[in-house]
Amino acid sequence: MVNYEFGAGIWMFQQFIDRYATDAYGPPVSTLEAIERAAEVDDIKVLDINYPFAGKGVTVAQVRETLQRTGLRAQAITPHLYMREFQMGSFTNPNPAVRRKAIDLGKRAVEIAHQLDARYVKFWPGQDGFDYPFQADYQRLWDYSVEGVGAVAQSDPTMQFAIEYKEKEPRSHMFFSSAARTLLAIEDMGVDNVGIVFDLGHSFFAKETPADALQLVARRGKLVSVELNDNWREWDDDMAVGSVHLVETLEFLLALRRINWQGPLLLDQFPFREDAVAAARASIKTMRALERLLDRLDLDALKAAQEQQDALKAQRIALDMLLGTNLVL
């Protein structure tokens, strides 16, 4: 059993709202309170923290102090590139002044990351892309995206950056939509310090095979971080880990072993109607149980089956492990 450290995107402990329940699913939660909640989970040790912080007048010093007191660590800083001012795009905004604002916000996120000793700055440019046919000059979107992320990355070669791709939402088409496309865009940036946050749910959503896409990113040396959750494959439902795609989640954890992933596993959940602390614990319990199952896996037998691409044998090995059938029958 790999003894992964666990973490979470801090948003899972904050307030949720959507376009229908406009009075929100619960009361506002400041960044400081969210850290406290994350700490209640016990097993969460690192956080991906949004900047600007939530809550009136919350300072970096307060965030640092709350982290220290609760024994948590900032793993990443994710700037809010998708608020009202960026509704027409951040790095790809048609207005050059807004594009500069996005780059500036990115740079401020770098400063915060240094101050909080975060490992990387994450870009999830949810408003970059397009909604309608004929709306976009796709070559220009490509150039703006490459230039924007590249500019922030070049501004501080000591900082690691990572792009989290997603197919859609809030834009009906997001620019960074899949692992392969994002790898190509990173190539075009011509920098060494930009990689990928691999989000399991986004990979399902992109119609990828996560265990396959993971190796693609890893072999090119671009895997910076790993986030887990689950969904119904046609939308980013951000559910608890393993709740729908249990078999593929298991395969994904095995793929993490194969690439010898040593970093933390972060949760990216939106428990709209559930208690966030309980929702985090549920995912961690499931991941640990799956990890324990993997210890029972006959790797040599699986390797032999995969060498033959023998679907039934490989499935049997996986399902026997999962269902305990080898023990029981």
Binding mask 238-277 for a copy of itself (x = CB under 8 A): -xx-xxx-xxx--x---x--x-----------x-xxxx--
In the beta sheet, which residues pair with residue 76?
A: 48, 120
Tokens of 24: 């929100």
39's enclosing H/E stretch is: helix 31-40
Minimum CB distance to a copy of itself smaller for 71 or for 170: 170
Site string for a copy of itself, 171-200 (x = CB under 8 A): -xx----x-xx-xx----------------
Taking the chain, what is the end-to-end CA distance rounded to the nearest angstrom? 25
Contact (Cβ atoms closer than 8 angstroms) between residue 216 and residue 186:
no
Nearer Cβ to a copy of itself (125/264): 125
Asked if 89 is part of the footprint of a copy of itself (rule: CB under 8 A), the reply reads: yes
Q: DSSP letter at 12?
A: G
Residue 325 is a binding residue for a copy of itself (CB under 8 A): yes
Considering the rule CB under 8 A, would residue 40 count as an interface residue with a copy of itself? no
Based on the shown chain and the rule CB under 8 A, indicate whether residue 298 belongs to the binding site for a copy of itself: no
- Give yes or no for residue 302 binding a copy of itself (CB under 8 A): yes
Interacting residues with a copy of itself between 133 and 152 (CB under 8 A): 133-142
In 3-state terms, the chain is what percent helix, strand and coil (to 5)? 45, 15, 40
Under the criterion CB under 8 A, does residue 319 sit at the interface with a copy of itself?
A: yes
At 200, phi and psi to the nearest 5?
-55, -45
Q: How far apart are the C-alpha atoms of 238 and 221, rounded to whole Å? A: 27
In the complex, minimum distance from the CB of residue 69 to a copy of itself, in angstroms, rounded to a whole number: 27
One residue of 1, 21, 60, 299 binding a copy of itself per CB under 8 A: 21
| Strand partners for 19 | none
Q: Which of 4, 7, 5 lies closest to 267, judged by CA?
A: 7
Minimum distance from CB of 198 to a copy of itself (Å)?
Answer: 14
Residue 53 is classified by DSSP as: P
| Residue in the structure block whose two tokens are 């450290």 | 5
- Which one of residues 5, 216, 263, 301 is an interface residue with a copy of itself (CB under 8 A)? 216
Candidates 2, 5, 16, 191; binder of a copy of itself (CB under 8 A) is 16
* Closest distance of CB 111 from a copy of itself, Å: 22
